[in-house]
Amino acid sequence: MKEKSKISNKHKPLTIFITGGSSGIGYQAVLKLISLGHNIILPCKNISRANEVLTNIFNQLPVELSKKGEIYTPIMDLSDLNSIDCICSELKTRRVNIDVLVLNAGLQYTGSKRPRMSTQGIELTFAVNHLAHFYLTQKILSLIDMSNDPKIIITSSEVHNPNSGGGKVGAKASLGNLKGLKSGVGFEMIDGNNFNADKAYKDSKLCNILFAKKLSNYLISKKLSIPVIAWAPGLVISRDNQGFFRYSRKYNQLGQILFAFLARDILKITTSNKYAGLLLSNLACLSKYRKPNFNYYSNKIISSGKFIFEETDISKDAQRGDLSDNLWDLSQSLLEKILR
């Protein structure tokens, strides 16, 4: 781990492991959680990124708060399963206890005509958004502290649902019979069809919810009382070059600028990184979000510029137990093929 700062707290803080905490929603959640005195494990892709994030955090927090909590920035690349092994081994060696696991990282490169591949040869959207978090959870589960109200939080999206506003636009989320995943390393789409970057993202968000549901059932079977929360932050478009759309901008910069202006400034159907980050920090540390088993929340737009954050139904495909079981089993089989 690269750096650490300490403070003493009057109450026992939570130790929160968060992926995707170096930018966007995750970064804003980290700022809020640190200001509340909670300890953060914030893995970054490389040393330069870790140093940049630490500098930004300390510069943005008020001086009187800058020594609250503990901040760790270990190196982890979600596109490389071996990197996940390394960080988990490091945490186990340090005997770190984790109270809240936040699987927030998400990658999307809509506009690209060709798939990008992870270190292990898996299409990058699926590799980062689902498979890496699936593997990380297995590796890190033994470090979760059962004595301090643990939770697992997974950032999904309403686009997993073909009947939602965003889910209706373009290709719809659908995993088919998981033909691509069954074929093993090198597949382009989970359903076995030709590559579509937009659908790949939507499919990965459906995977997030199917995984969350199956994980909850698994924990119940092991008599582990760990609530599993999946949530959708709404459409978030930042005004800088960071955040969620930073990859897809490379493929259609003008289109992204026009879309952002229309959605954010004219229709006002977007929310900010700061507000979505606040929602995520609340999910992590508020007791009201400790309902047992699986729960799904969505930041839903009710009128121009107005949102409501509430429990929401998941899509019909997300409700399918057979699909959840098959995704889990095939993901596990794929890991075994890759790592043997």
Is the residue at 81 inside a domain?
yes
38/265: higher pLDDT: 38
Average pLDDT of the chain, as a whole number: 88
Residue 10 lies in a domain: no
Q: Supply the pLDDT for residue 58.
A: 87
Does residue 8 fall inside a structural domain? no
Tell me the CATH number at 150. Answer: 3.40.50.720
Euclidean distance between CA atoms 214 and 236, whole angstroms: 27
| C-alpha to C-alpha distance for 177 and 6, rounded to whole angstroms | 50
Q: Is the pLDDT of residue 86 over 60?
A: yes
pLDDT for res 163: 94
Mean pLDDT of 307-322: 95
C-alpha distance from residue 270 to each of 138, 234, 263, 284 (Å): 34, 7, 6, 22
Which residue range is the domain that position 280 belongs to? 15-339
Cα–Cα distances in angstroms (integers) from residue 52 to residues 18, 136, 306, in the given order: 17, 24, 34
Does 3 fall in a domain?
A: no
Mean pLDDT, residues 185-197 taken together? 96
Domain count, the chain: 1
In a domain, 191, yes or no: yes
User: In the 8-state DSSP scheme, what is residue 268?
Assistant: -
pTM value is 0.89
Instruction: Report, in this order, helix, strand and coil percent for the chain, each rounded to 5.
Output: 45, 15, 40
pLDDT band at 1 (very low <50, low <70, confident <90, very high): very low
pLDDT of residue 166: 85
> Is 297 domain-assigned?
yes
* DSSP label of 20: S
The answer to whether residue 153 scores a pLDDT higher than 90 is: yes
Measured in Å, how far apart are the chain's first and last C-alpha atoms?
Answer: 27
Residue 131: inside a domain:
yes
2 assigned to some structural domain: no
- The percent of residues above 90 in pLDDT, for the chain, comes to 74
